Structure 1
Amino acid sequence: MNSSAALKDDRKLTYLNVEGADKPLISPVPDMVLNRARKYRLQRLRDHLDQSDCAALLLYDPCNIRYAFDCSNMQVWTLHNPMRYALILAGGPAIMFEFKGCLHQSEGLPGIDEIRIAKTWIFMASGDKVGTTIQDWADEITDLIREYGGGNTRIACDTLAGSGVHALEARGLSYIEGTQITEIARSIKSADEIELMRWTIHVCEAGMARIYDHSLPGVTERELWAHLHFENARSGGDWLETKLLTCGPRTNPWYQECSNRVCQAVELISFDTDMIGPYGYCADLSRSWTCGYTKMTGTQRRLYDTALDQIYDNLSLVRPGTSFTEFNEMSWRIPDAHVPYRYSLAVHGVGMADEWPVVPLHVDWGPGAMSGRFESGMVVCVESLMAEEGSESVKLETQVLVTDKGYERLDCFPFE
């Protein structure tokens, strides 16, 4: 057996989950874990809604709706067609306004007190009747706030279009930006949420193993990327947020989407999963390896080791109580040759998608960098992208839980 074949077989024993190699992964997470997570998430939103002194929280972002109620009807489609929404009243019920014909999608979910047909006023659905439908929509929202708000007219909204804001304000309501409420609420995960997230990561790693198993000369970037889609879809996941898998010279500059380019032996294959998986949680992991299971070249190895230095050094700084400013001051410094090819950030939050906070790299730190600190219960991704002039790019990323003692890695897919 040649060395490449031996390495592949060794890696397959490490990477390929026996269960996931030939059939969909079936989650072992008990229903009681999911129901506790649902209760916790809705209460987080209610608590932060109370702290904001708002009468209601209006949600259009499908990820926020999933977080609040765990109903996941047509999430990608409603990202750009806002035809369903949720209203959580601080002094009253939590109401799901579902797309007509889909009310059964939200039935039986414990956090929803009432299901109503959504009043859709976007132009695609209402055309020249938008003016009428938006008035009916605003009347219903306003009536609910007057009924349950106790005189409070402040309404927090996450992604409401301007015409909707104007219609509510014309009825005496005060619009409050609601994204801060949802992002801060979502940032601290319960133990049950972490169990759900671990399963999404498990499914993602089975997909990564499929990519690895097919990383042979002659395969295209898109064919490799399809293996992650396949494992996610057949195991109950949702979608991939990006198409970041490239090989060889297409790894640099980064952020090129996968193409029909054929991967060649010895070239690096680098990718970033950005996978919204089972239970709606995100597995955001990055790895790089060589096509054909070959030994890395000297340049590839040097870049890879440098990327690992950045990952491990910055990981050691992720601990509760450390401010983002303190993290920046102590963070690993990128050598000058790699600065023009750097990634756009050092650390970011993750939950049901990429989330608050975002901590820039030291070279991008400035007055616009956000305030805050790491807290126990946060989940963050620590990133590295390493390249230089004329080289390929090594992309690495790990997902970690901030604990009372520091951090715990949630992914176990090995680095090279």
Structure 2
Amino acid sequence: MPDTAVRPALETPDLPRLRRARLAKVRAELAQRDLAAILLYDPVNIRYATDSRNMAVWTLHNPVRYALVPLEGPVVVFDFHNCGHLSAGLETVEEVRPATGWYWFGAGPEAGRRVARWADEIAALMHRHGGGNRRLAVDRLDPLGARALEARGLEILDGQEPMEMARHLKTPDEVVAMRHAVAACEAGMAAMRAALRPGMTENELWSILHQVNIARGGEWIETRLLASGPRTNPWFQECGERVIEAGDLVSFDTDLIGPYGMCADISRSFLCGDGRGSAEQRTLYALALEQIETNAALLKPGMTCREFAERSFALPERYRANRYSVIFHGVGLCDEYPACLYLEDFESAGYDALVVPGMTLCLESYVGAEAGGEGVKLEQQLLVTETGLEPLSSFPFEDSLLERWV
């Protein structure tokens, strides 16, 4: 369907400046940990460090491209067959080489020989630019590759921590880029709201968000989290062929990768059809909205995740078993560090982190009774400033589910 929403006037990010700043942040994390280089396979990390992209979803499960970012020396992108031109013009990439694929689909029984060739090339670059430092971080690597690098005298260390720490504070240009992703996402949400009618399937409604995102320069959507009626509880049911009925709640989580590769992670629950929601639907919605608004007013820079978990909105007992997995999480090129869990989950799965200006966060709420019925999903995307939280998402809440409805 055509995108007829009015496009907001948005500042354009300075992409060369954005790229230089990101690469500098990665190298600062390497220096802090005495790492000679980092080898990146995750396409999101490659995008962050270089702004080079190629078939991101496909390369998430086919390791056909990688990048070596040294503390000092040229950044080398190793790209898929005949794809060297994709990094042309990027000031962050000084050399492009053909990748050596040694995963089983691409290499089959030749995997052993190819991994040796691959490891020789990485080790040679480390020897040339590492200044004697053999400490190499990697974000994702199968055992065959790790053993091959270690056999060549390299010390393999975790690359996820330095990349998450580089990514978790946003530059002004990244915030500008994120506003474009949010604008594309909210245009898609508006088109979904306008199209929602009894008789359409969940898949039909969800497809509208994809179309608007792509039309506005977006890239992909990470999940299929849209459900209607009784499928809204418990949460994490993906959309399907269920026909949406009048009076159904339709709850969704966008998980959208929009323009500039930035994530817009916003959730809403709509009421299908005319009229006011039922008393139970309005109760669910009011609790979810209260949780979002209470937590937004509470969260301040300088708080820790544990401190916030201790003080945050407490769900009534009948909804706690079905609580969402986090109270808030970071967001950038995708969901990012940190993740703040509910207090009852902290000891088993949580960790502490400090909330500081420059983070972009998503406050989450899911309210659905353990005994069944429908569920409401709400989520707001925000920027942490020196004084508090600035909303990045402004999509309206559902009047038909609010007490102020007339």
Aligned length: 396
Match of 1:91 in 2: 72
SS at match of 2:45: helix
Match of 1:357 in 2: 338
Kindly state the Cα deviation for residue 36 of structure 1 after the two structures are TM-superposed.
Answer: 1.4
Contact 2:361 2:383 in 1 (8 A): yes
SS at match of 2:4: helix
The two structures, once aligned, show a CA RMSD in angstroms of: 1.5
Given candidates 142, 150, 153, the residue that maps to 1:172 is 153
Contact 1:55 1:155 in 2 (8 A): yes
- Once the two structures are superposed, residues 212-256 of structure 1 have per-residue CA deviations (whole angstroms, 9 ceiling, x without a partner) of 011111111000000000001111111111001111001011111
Kindly state the Cα deviation for residue 211 of structure 1 after the two structures are TM-superposed.
Answer: 0.8
With over 3 angstroms needed to count, the CA separation of the structure-2 counterparts of 1:394 and 1:26, relative to structure 1, is: closer
SS at match of 1:401: strand
- Once the two structures are superposed, residues 348-394 of structure 1 have per-residue CA deviations (whole angstroms, 9 ceiling, x without a partner) of 11100011111111232215421211011001100000111232000
* Amino acid aligned to 2:74: P
| 2:392 matches 1:405 | no
Given candidates 378, 382, 397, the residue that maps to 1:396 is 378
Match of 2:108 in 1: 127
Contact 2:299 2:388 in 1 (8 A): yes
With over 3 angstroms needed to count, the CA separation of the structure-2 counterparts of 1:141 and 1:269, relative to structure 1, is: same
Match of 1:247 in 2: 228
Match of 1:348 in 2: 329
Between the aligned partners of 1:405 and 1:140, the Cα distance in structure 2 is 49
SS at match of 2:269: strand
Match of 1:312 in 2: 293
Between the aligned partners of 1:168 and 1:107, the Cα distance in structure 2 is 29
Unpaired runs of 5+ residues, structure 2, are 399-406
Q: Report matched runs for 1:137-148 at 5 Å.
A: 137-148=118-129
Q: TM-score, normalised by structure 1?
A: 0.93
Kindly state the Cα deviation for residue 20 of structure 1 after the two structures are TM-superposed.
Answer: 4.0
Match of 2:177 in 1: 196
Structure 1 stretch 294-303 or stretch 266-275: which is displaced more? 294-303
With over 3 angstroms needed to count, the CA separation of the structure-2 counterparts of 1:22 and 1:198, relative to structure 1, is: closer
* Amino acid aligned to 2:295: N
Match of 1:21 in 2: 4
Between the aligned partners of 1:261 and 1:208, the Cα distance in structure 2 is 20
- Once the two structures are superposed, residues 190-212 of structure 1 have per-residue CA deviations (whole angstroms, 9 ceiling, x without a partner) of 11100000000000000001110
Between the aligned partners of 1:315 and 1:20, the Cα distance in structure 2 is 31
* Amino acid aligned to 1:243: R
Given candidates 345, 354, 358, the residue that maps to 1:377 is 358
Kindly state the Cα deviation for residue 29 of structure 1 after the two structures are TM-superposed.
Answer: 4.5
Q: Identity over the aligned pairs, expressed in percent?
A: 47
Match of 1:160 in 2: 141
Match of 2:54 in 1: 73
Given candidates 110, 117, 141, the residue that maps to 2:91 is 110
Given candidates 380, 397, 406, the residue that maps to 1:415 is 397
Between the aligned partners of 2:4 and 2:393, the Cα distance in structure 1 is 18
Contact 2:300 2:387 in 1 (8 A): yes
- Once the two structures are superposed, residues 130-181 of structure 1 have per-residue CA deviations (whole angstroms, 9 ceiling, x without a partner) of 1111011000100111111111000000011111111000000000000000
